[in-house]
Chain A
Amino acid sequence: MGVTFKVYNDFLIVNLKGELDHHMARMVSEKLDEYLMRQSFKKILFNFKQVNFMDSSGVGMLIGRYKALQKIGGKVGAINVGKQVARIFEISGLFNIIPCFNDEIEASEKM
């Protein structure tokens, strides 16, 4: 379980690894806050490549980020969303506010 960050053009890519439940969502949120205190970004891309599980706590974390970024005119996106995660996106309506792309290249063209 973990989170690493990568800067890509004007994006901050948040690479998630593990199961995005309440336990992990809290950790990701803390680490992301720490990172954003040093350098701010208007575009954040969550990479789900190594996430095979998410529940409503992950949804809450993503909505929190979306709201925070919206206030400063920024955007949140997601890449490499797998099957189980996609179902949670669909049921919770996340697809309507957080666009999903195949990879960071597509995201940087469209976001």
Chain B
Amino acid sequence: MEVLNEMTIDFWSKSQNEAFARVVVAAFASQLNPTLDELADIKTAVSEAVTNCIIHGYENETGIIRIKSILRENEIEIWVQDWGKGIEDIEKARQPLWTSKPELDRSGMGFTIMENFMDRVEVESSPGKGTIVKMYKTIKNKK
């Protein structure tokens, strides 16, 4: 499928940037003319991925988070990347309700929500090096 547009942003792993990241990706995605529900889904998934970078990847230290997004005719692809501590066991991390930080009031629902709101979620990670979450969603163009 032909690439229509692409963007990359880098920002610090500060919790204020969770809202920033959601809004930026939603604004970019709006070029595909998505419905309000599709936009809400994208915002929620981005929020989860970025929050993971901040809390788990960098454990509240300052690091860089990179979001790359590609628009195709009826699909958005979003990569959310950090160079933090990485995930030891990806399969476990993706299980509903599982969290490595229960003491912090974490629900363990981050990946479950990403999977529910996007069509496909891929996770690449290596301990000590970082994590990339790749998410894909079909946009049913309203026309």
Q: Which residues of A contact B (CB under 8 A)?
A: 19, 21-23, 25-26, 29, 53, 55-57, 59-61, 63-64, 84, 88, 91-92
Interface size class of B (residues with CB under 8 A): 20 to 34
Which residues of B27-42 are within 8 A (CB) of A?
A: 40
B109 touches A53 (CB 8 A): no
Q: Is there a chain A Cβ closer than 8 Å to B106's Cβ?
A: yes
How many Å from the CB of B72 to the closest CB on chain A?
Answer: 25
Interface of B is mostly: helix
Chain B 85-119 per-residue mask, 1 if CB under 8 angstroms from chain A, else 0: 00000000000000000001111111011001000
Q: In chain B, what residue has the closest Cβ to A27?
A: B15
Chain B 29-64 per-residue mask, 1 if CB under 8 angstroms from chain A, else 0: 000000000001001100110010011000000000
How many Å from the CB of A60 to the closest CB on chain B?
Answer: 4
Per the bound structure, the CA–CA distance linking A92 and B97 in Å amounts to 8
